[in-house]
Every structure is written in structure tokens, then in C-alpha cells.
Amino acid sequence: MNFKLNKIIPQLATLLAVILVFGFLTYNAQVNMDNRGIEFGFGFLTQESSFDVQFSLIDYDGSHSYARAYLVGLLNTLLVAFIGIILSTVLGVIVGIARLSPNYLIERTAAWYVEFFRNIPLLLQIFFWYFAALRALPLPQDTEPMFGVFFLTIKGLFVPRFVWENLDIFFYSIIAAIISIIVIRNYARKLQENEGKQLPVFYISIGLFLILPLLTFLVGGVSLNFSIPELEQMSNTSFKYKGGLGIPPELIALTLALGLYTATFIAECVRAGIQGISKGQKEAAASIGLTPNQILKLVIMPQALRIIIPPTTNQYLNLTKNSSLAAAIAYPDLVLIFAGTALMQTGRAIEIVSITMLTYLSISLSISVLMNWYNKKIAIKEK
């Protein structure tokens, strides 16, 4: 009896404390909202938002609802996170490998890159790129094009836009290519396990991935044109680009800063992962006659990835969360549009801040669930 009380009393006390705190806060909120005549509810989401957004991936203007504005913000956040993750992964892997280079100069350069960008606050880096570096770019009318089609100006980067016809057929062909690659890989694995024959899976995959979509250009009626940005004079001093795709400077500054900053952490993960593989593994693999490529592919990478992936996932999550700093340079992400403008207009602090937080929370949790699943899949299966 005594023993059980020992365990029940602390639990009850904690539970009681938590309930009391929450109850107290909720009660206060209720009183405050009654006094100000605000009612709790999410009805405002369907109201007309009546504010415009600079940069949006979907159709949006002031006549759309707050819910649509939320979607615009969410998509912009995901866009930044997506580009940032790709940029930081590519750079991080290169720098991480460079840190293990036998070349002293390369190793030092990579180390200095990591030490430099890791120790400066991300916000400062975003400000630097946006307010100092990108502001030094020329005006549209003075810009010399790069390779004839890219225009990097103070108003952003203008690139050619793809103009597709029958894009859906092209998409289906890519999906078909991916499915056939998976089938062939499975077949090749079975073939090797049963008969010891090896197929050049890598080249077949690349071939399929290129040839199937290319075929649709000939057979399926898919065509691709480029709309190249052209400078157009609006008035004496105002110039604008027509056609093409304009990437706003906010997006460039944000992805650049996020990519460069997060890459330092990913580089450290990669380095730790590769260093974590003992030399004996490599030597053992070589001694049973594997080629250097096979050693890397079959022995080193599967083990290194096991060490690299969990901390790298964490960095992806951090990057996604850090993309909320967009609000500081007025890139219209979730925080700026929803927790900023929409909150100002409606004054519904509790609803809007909770929706914003829940959104980030669900992004984080879903990425970590996905990564846990992947992690479990590649974990060592002990018998």
C-alpha cells in the first residue's frame, strides 16, 4: 500500500498542477474575451481577406478568403523549405566530404566555411543578403544578361519560364519511368540473389528516366517552349520584365541564407557519419574483392547513412522552422501573411497563433514520423 502511494501521489500532484494552470489561463482568457466582446471561433476563416500578397504560388487576391491566404502562406513556406533543403543538402554533402579530403587546403577551406557561417546568427545573414548584398545589384535597365537569358537585378532574378503543352502526358511518362525502374531494380536484385548475375541497373535506370519522357515529345504531342524575360519600358524611369519567371529578391536572400547556414550543420553530420565507419570495414570489403565503387555503394554508404540521417533530419526540421524568419524581410510566408497581416486585421490572436503553431507542429511531427520510418527501415536488422 505504502509502495503504491509513493507512485500515485506525485502523479496526481503533477496532473492537478497542470490542470490548475490550464484552467486558470483558460478562465482568464474567457473573462478577457467576454470583456472585449470577442467570441472564440474559426468563422473568420471564410471571410474576405481584402489584402494583397506580393508573391503567391496559387491564384490569390484581396477577394479571396482568409483560409486561402493561409494556404498561400503555407505554400510559400513549403517552397522556401524545399529549395533550402535541396541547396543545403548539396552544399553540406560537398563540404562534409571536403572536410575529409587529404588535400590540406581543401580541408581548411571547408573548415573555415563551417566555422564562419555557423557562428553568425541566421537572422543577421538573411539581413546581410537582403539589405546589403542584393541591394548592390544593378537596376533592371542596367542589367547585363547572364548567358543571354538570366537577369539578376535588384528586383529579383528573372529566368526563362517553361511553357508546356500536354504537360499531364509528360508527368505520366515520368511516373511510368519511376515505376519501371523500381520493377527492374527488384528484378535485378532477385537475379543477383538467385543466379549471381549483375545487371547495369544504374545505366538502365538513367536511360529509362531520360528516354521515356523524351519519347512523349515525339509521340504524345508534348512540346516545350521557353518564355524569355524581356525588358519593357513602362515610363521614363520605370522598367519591367515581361514574360519569363520572376523570383523575388526576398526568396533569393532567404533560401541563400538558409542554405548556407544549414549546410554547415549538415556538413558536420556527413563528416561524423563517414568518420564513424571504421577503417576495417573498407579493408575487409577490399579483401573480398569488391571494387572501390562497390565498397562505397555496398559497404560504406549504407553504414554511414545510418549515422547521418537522424541528425540531418533534425537539420531539415530546423531549416523548415527557421524559414519563419522570412517575416523579417517581408517574404510572404505563413508567419507574415497569417500571424502578421491577418492577425492585425481580425484581431483574433488566440485562433491565429494556435493555427500557425499547429501547422508548424504538424509539419515537424510528420517529417519526424516519416524519417523514423525510414530510419527503422535502414536500421541493422539483428537476428
Partner 1 sequence: MNKLNFLRPNIENLNTYLYSGIFLISIAILDVSLSSFFSTNITSFLPNFISFLLPLILGTVGLHFIRIEFSGIKNLDLLNKNINTNTFNAVLTLLIIFAVIKSIPPFLSWFIFDATISGDTKEACTGTGACWTYIKIWLNRFVYGMYPNELQWRINLSFIALIGLAFVGLIPSEKIKKFLTLYYVVIYPIIAFVLIYYLISGGAFGLEWVETGAWGGLSLTFIVSFFCLIFCFPVGMFLALGRRSELPTVRYISVGFIEFWRGVPLITVLFMSSVMFPMFLPEDFFMDKLVRVIIAISLFEAAYVAEVIRGGLQALPRGQYDAAKSLGMGYWKMHIFVILPQALKLVIPGIANTFLALVKDTPLIFVVGLLEIVGMLNLAKTNPKWLGYAMEGYVFAAIIFWIICYAMSKYSYNLEIKYKTDR
Point out which residues bind partner 1 (CB under 8 A).
7, 10-12, 14-15, 18, 25-26, 28-29, 31-33, 35, 101-106, 109, 115-116, 118-125, 127-128, 131-133, 135-136, 321-322, 324-325, 327-328, 335, 339, 343, 349-350, 353-354, 356-357, 360-361, 364-365
Q: For partner 1, give the closer residue by CB, 90 or 365.
A: 365
Q: What are the φ and ψ backbone dihedral angles of 65, each rounded to 5 degrees?
A: -85, 170
Q: For partner 1, give the closer residue by CB, 114 or 177.
A: 114
CB of 120 to partner 1, least distance (A): 5
Q: For partner 1, give the closer residue by CB, 228 or 317.
A: 317
CB of 165 to partner 1, least distance (A): 39
CB of 78 to partner 1, least distance (A): 14
Q: For partner 1, give the closer residue by CB, 306 or 321.
A: 321
Q: How many Cα neighbours within 13 Å face the side chain of 239?
A: 14
Q: For partner 1, give the closer residue by CB, 222 or 351.
A: 351
CB of 305 to partner 1, least distance (A): 21
Instruction: Go through the chain and tell me how many residues it has.
Output: 383
Within 8 A by CB and 6+ apart from 34, the residues are none
CB of 21 to partner 1, least distance (A): 10
